[in-house]
């Protein structure tokens, strides 16, 4: 079971990138080839980095999903790891755990890692891909995953078409997870596979509110049976208002919501009702 890794970077965290590459090179077992994709930035100097690392540069920032797809296309491995450039794999046995997991379960398509803050050792609520978070140290089946801390079987990427390029940022992981579940693959949260990553807020990105709303609409239009679309989006409207975002944030969110309806969302392939029931049994029906 061969592993390869894709690291997306904007070139603004060289020290963190160096530490991440060292942690990948320190993994037990067969060496893990790494492709570093500089998204709209010059390719970083990786000649002195340990392990099998090569860098490539994209002329413009094509967004997170498209950048990761470019990197994955450069690998010829059974499983692709997607790692944030400011992350770190503290346990050198993480790769061995992943190899065993995918080898032992041929239906396992995606593994989401546990993200912990290196300073406090805590896991943010949003980094546990369950509706009822519970104990972050508990593994189990889920219906989505963390894009910068995951491992995806190459067959899943090939069968689903990879991450949706047009999303640029936000909800591209859920789109892929829903399509993978509909194709019969399993998605697992593995608390024993840890990526250290500083605690952050998604709202730090200037486009967060607009992209969050636009892509939420696209996600529903692309993947849900039509009767569930207004239920799913309605629940998110209520939650967004209840969370009390700033007036500027709500204005951007409303603009993104309208944009999601007015612009093409890509090919529509609604999931089967059996997938809806499967997700419901997993604790997250696709209406929340």
Condensed to tens digits (0 to 9), the pLDDT of residues 2-12 reads 999 999 999 99
Do 11 and 132 fall into the same domain?
Answer: yes
**Alpha helices in the chain, H assignment, sequence order:** 14-25, 64-73, 94-104, 154-160, 172-182, 208-223, 229-242, 247-262, 273-281
- The closest of 41, 35, 37 to 66, measured between CA atoms, is 37
**Residue 277 forms part of a structural domain:** yes
pLDDT by residue for the chain (288 residues), tens digit each?
999 999 999 999 999 999 999 999 999 999 999 999 999 999 999 988 888 999 999 999 999 999 999 999 999 999 999 999 999 999 999 999 999 999 999 999 999 999 999 999 999 999 999 999 999 999 999 999 999 999 999 999 999 999 999 999 999 999 999 999 999 999 999 999 999 999 877 655 558 899 999 999 999 999 999 999 999 999 999 998 888 778 888 999 999 999 999 999 999 999 999 999 999 999 999 998
- The verdict on 71 and 190 lying in the same domain is yes
Rounded to a whole number of angstroms, the distance between the first and last alpha carbons of the chain is 35
Residue 201 has a pLDDT of 72
3-state secondary structure of 250: helix
Give the pLDDT confidence score for residue 243 in this predicted structure. 83
Are 18 and 134 found together in one domain? yes
Do 191 and 241 lie in one domain? The reply is: no
Quick: pLDDT tens for 14-72: 999 999 999 999 999 999 999 999 999 999 999 888 889 999 999 999 999 999 999 99
Residue that finishes a domain, picked among 170, 200, 230: 200
Domain check: are 185 and 259 in the same one? Answer: no
Let me know if residue 287 belongs to a domain.
no
Question: 150 lies in which domain range?
Answer: 3-200
Whose CA is closest to 149, among 84, 202, 204?
Answer: 84
C-alpha closest to that of 32 among 40, 21, 24, 23: 24
Q: Are residues 47 and 100 in the same domain?
A: yes
Say how many domains are in the chain.
2
Which CATH number characterizes residue 78's domain? 3.90.550.10
In this prediction the pTM is 0.96
Task: For residues 79 and 32, give the distance between their C-alpha atoms in angstroms, rounded to a whole number.
Answer: 10
Tell me, yes or no, whether 108 and 234 share the same domain.
no
In this structure, the answer to whether residues 253 and 120 fall within a common structural domain is: no
Residue 153, in any domain of the structure: yes
- Do 24 and 114 belong together in one domain? yes
Q: Is-contact 16 83, C-beta < 8 A?
A: no
Same domain, 68 and 105: yes
Question: Rounded to whole angstroms, how far apart are CA atoms 182 and 271?
Answer: 6
User: Quick check: is 118 in a domain?
Assistant: yes
pLDDT at 206: 58
């Amino acid at each position: 079971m061969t592993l390869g890794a894709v690291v997306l970077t904007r070139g603004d965290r060289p020290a963190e990138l160096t530490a991440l590459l060292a942690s990948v090179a320190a993994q037990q077992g067969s060496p893990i080839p790494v492709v570093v994709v500089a998204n709209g930035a010059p390719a970083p100097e990786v000649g002195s980095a340990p392990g099998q690392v090569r860098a490539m540069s994209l002329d413009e920032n094509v967004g997170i999903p498209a950048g990761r797809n470019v990197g994955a296309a450069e690998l010829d491995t059974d499983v692709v790891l997607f790692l944030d450039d400011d992350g770190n794999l503290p346990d050198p046995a993480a790769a061995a755990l992943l190899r065993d997991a995918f080898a032992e379960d041929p239906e396992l398509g995606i593994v989401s890692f546990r993200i912990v803050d290196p300073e406090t050792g805590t896991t943010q609520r949003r980094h546990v891909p369950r509706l009822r978070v519970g104990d972050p140290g508990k593994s189990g089946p889920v219906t989505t995953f963390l894009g910068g801390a995951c491992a995806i079987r190459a067959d899943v990427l090939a069968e689903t078409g990879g991450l949706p390029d047009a999303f640029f940022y936000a909800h591209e992981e859920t789109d892929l997870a829903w399509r993978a579940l509909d194709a019969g693959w399993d998605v697992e949260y593995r608390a024993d596979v840890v990526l250290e990553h500083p605690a952050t807020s998604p709202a730090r990105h200037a486009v967060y509110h607009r992209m969050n709303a636009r892509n939420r609409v696209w996600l529903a239009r692309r993947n849900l049976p039509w009767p569930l679309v207004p239920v799913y989006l309605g629940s998110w409207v209520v939650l967004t208002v209840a969370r009390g975002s700033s007036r500027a944030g709500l204005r951007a969110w409303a603009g993104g919501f309208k944009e999601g309806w007015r612009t093409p969302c890509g090919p529509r392939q609604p999931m089967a009702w059996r997938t809806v029931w499967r997700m419901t049994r997993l604790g997250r029906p696709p209406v929340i």
